[in-house]
Amino acid sequence: MVANFLNYSRSGVADWIVQRFSALILAAYTIVMVVWLVVNGMELTFAQWQGFIGQTWMRIFTLLTILALASHAWIGLWTVATDYLRKGVIRVVFLGFVGVSLFVYVVWGVSILWGF
Amino acid sequence: MLVSVYRYNPETDREPYMQDVEVSLLEGKDLMVLDVLNLIKEKDQSLSFRRSCREGVCGSDGVNMNGKNGLACITPLSDVAANGKLVVRPLPGLPVIRDLVVDMGVFYKQYQRIKPYLQNSSQTGNHERLQSPEDRAKLDGLYECILCACCSTSCPSFWWNPDKFVGPSGLLQAYRFLADSRDEATEERLAELDDPFSVFRCRGIMNCVSVCPKGLNPTKAIGHIRDMLLSRAT
């Protein structure tokens, strides 16, 4: 039996929509990154890199991507955990680890984007 | 022909085991798997399995044959055991009562949950509830389900969460009533299904479609339910 860990009365449709929209954002960000890297070649300098990421639109887009990644990963791993981790304690520990990790990534991402 | 059958009698066996039985078949004659099980039972009366109509209508003899679920009575040996060996196991994911007989309780519970009956409180007077041929046609491919459980027990999402995920069979039936022009409980039915488990645990791997002995398509029905849930939410 799976307890509704952090899922009390959550909507399946909402999860489904978040999962799809975040996937679109992640795909768009990946395309932008790959195109930029291809255009700028292999000889990349730190100044170039910082100049690209430091633009306001790119900071917002990156933050949006980090938030999309966190929600996408949370819904996905919550689903995997409620399928495959049958012992409640292990599941709670695993999801706790995932939740804390994602939170740290988001905070870290924000501090990188707006800390320079 | 060598047939390996899953045996388990909880009163005498500590754990299940596979029993190898040599069955002699007539040259050039194709048999159904159910016939083979009957031949084995002639030799060993203790073998237990369910069967009734022996023509794919009652849905009693769903078993796992060489790794694939199906009805033993309409599965020819030439189809399932072309390599000359047959392994028969009970439907996966359900508790075994004895040999090939499984406890279908959790499967029926999900069926009960989707309220598999027409809900309509309006009065019609002294005549039937009429339906146009077009509306009636929407139920084709849905109402034919015989509840054999081949689909739900081939679905990993149902194995992991049989108490929360309705399963392909139940969802096919749920859509049968959602699609029915005479049913008035659409909103209540959808509200009951809108959680992360009941419908959305379907990952669309389509095991259900590949095993359904009636050739039905639960994945498509689940897609329709998801569409209805989406338009209800937006």
Q: What distance in Å separates the CA atoms of residue A22 and residue B229, rounded to the nearest whole number?
A: 19
The pLDDT assigned to A6 comes to 52
Band of residue A8 on the pLDDT scale cut at 50, 70, 90: very low
The pLDDT assigned to B27 comes to 82
The pLDDT assigned to B40 comes to 96
Q: What distance in Å separates the CA atoms of residue B30 and residue B28, rounded to the nearest whole number?
A: 7
Residue A3 lies in a domain: no
CB B209 within 8 A of CB B217: yes
| Average pLDDT of chain B to the nearest whole number | 95
The pLDDT assigned to B123 comes to 83
Q: Which residue has the higher pLDDT, A59 or A6?
A: A59
Averaged pLDDT for residues B100-129: 93
- Closest residue of chain B to A10, computed from CA coordinates: B195
Q: What distance in Å separates the CA atoms of residue B199 and residue B110, rounded to the nearest whole number?
A: 12
CA distance B158 to chain A (A): 10
**CA distances (Å), origin B179, targets A6, A79, B18, B115, B134:** 33, 29, 44, 14, 12
Does pTM surpass 0.95?
no
Averaged pLDDT for residues B37-41: 96
Chain region(s) in chain B for CATH 3.10.20.30: 2-102
Question: Is the predicted pLDDT of residue A9 greater than 60, yes or no?
Answer: no
Of B163, B153, B160, B162, the residue nearest B218 (C-alpha)? B153
Structurally, chain A folds into a number of domains equal to: 1
Residue A7 lies in a domain: no
In chain B, what residues touch A12 (CB-CB under 8 Å)? 193-200, 229
Burial class (CB in 10 A: 0-12, 13-18, 19+), B225: buried
Band of residue A1 on the pLDDT scale cut at 50, 70, 90: very low
Q: For residue range B1-29, what is the model confidence (pLDDT) as tens digits?
A: 999 999 999 999 999 999 999 998 888 88
Of B147, B126, B144, the residue nearest B71 (C-alpha)? B147
CA B156 to chain CA centroid, nearest Å: 14
CA distance A92 to chain B (A): 17
Q: What distance in Å separates the CA atoms of residue B24 and residue A2, rounded to the nearest whole number?
A: 48
For position A33, which CATH number holds? 1.20.1300.10
Q: For residue range B40-57, what is the model confidence (pLDDT) as tens digits?
A: 999 999 999 999 999 999
Q: Where are the alpha helices (DSSP H) in chain B?
A: 33-43, 77-80, 105-113, 133-137, 156-160, 167-178, 186-193, 207-211, 218-233
As a 3-state breakdown, chain B gives helix, strand, coil percent values, each rounded to 5, of 35, 15, 50
Helix axis angle, B218-233 relative to B186-193, nearest 10°?
100
Q: Do A12 and B198 touch (CB under 8 A)?
A: yes
Q: Do B229 and A12 touch (CB under 8 A)?
A: yes
The pLDDT assigned to A2 comes to 47
CA distance B234 to chain A (A): 10
Q: What distance in Å separates the CA atoms of residue B225 and residue B193, rounded to the nearest whole number?
A: 9
List, as own/partner pairs, every contact residues B105-110 make where C-beta atoms lie below 8 angstroms and the sequence separation is at least 24, other chains included: B106/B162, B106/B163, B107/B147, B107/B149, B107/B152, B107/B153, B107/B162, B107/B167, B107/B169, B107/B170, B108/B147, B109/B163, B110/B152, B110/B162, B110/B165, B110/B166, B110/B167, B110/B169, B110/B170
Q: For residue range A30-81, what is the model confidence (pLDDT) as tens digits?
A: 999 999 999 987 788 899 989 999 999 999 999 999 999 999 999 999 999 9
Residue A88 lies in a domain: yes
Residue A97 lies in a domain: yes
Q: Residue by residue, what is the 3-state secondary structure of B160-193?
A: HCCCCCCHHHHHHHHHHHHCCCCCCCHHHHHHHH
Phi, psi of B63 (to 5 degrees): -140, 170
Q: Do A13 and B230 touch (CB under 8 A)?
A: yes
CB atoms < 10 A from the CB of B54, how many? Answer: 17
Of B232, B158, B176, B149, the residue nearest A11 (C-alpha)? B232
In chain A, what residues touch B164 (CB-CB under 8 Å)? 2
Residue A61 lies in a domain: yes
The pLDDT assigned to A98 comes to 96
CATH topology of domain B2-102: Ubiquitin-like (UB roll) (3.10.20)
**CA distances (Å), origin B110, targets A71, B118, B212:** 30, 17, 18
Averaged pLDDT for residues B147-160: 97
The pair of three-digit structure tokens given for residue B104, joined into one six-digit string: 């279908």
Band of residue B211 on the pLDDT scale cut at 50, 70, 90: very high
Number of Cα atoms under 13 Å in the Cβ half of residue B218: 32
DSSP B76: B
Averaged pLDDT for residues A79-92: 92
The ipTM value here is 0.80
Chain region(s) in chain B for CATH 1.10.1060.10: 105-233
- Closest residue of chain A to B165, computed from CA coordinates: A83
CATH architecture of B105-233: Orthogonal Bundle (1.10)
Give residue A109's domain range: 12-114
Band of residue B215 on the pLDDT scale cut at 50, 70, 90: very high
Q: Which residue has the higher pLDDT, B124 or B173?
A: B173
CB B75 within 8 A of CB B65: yes
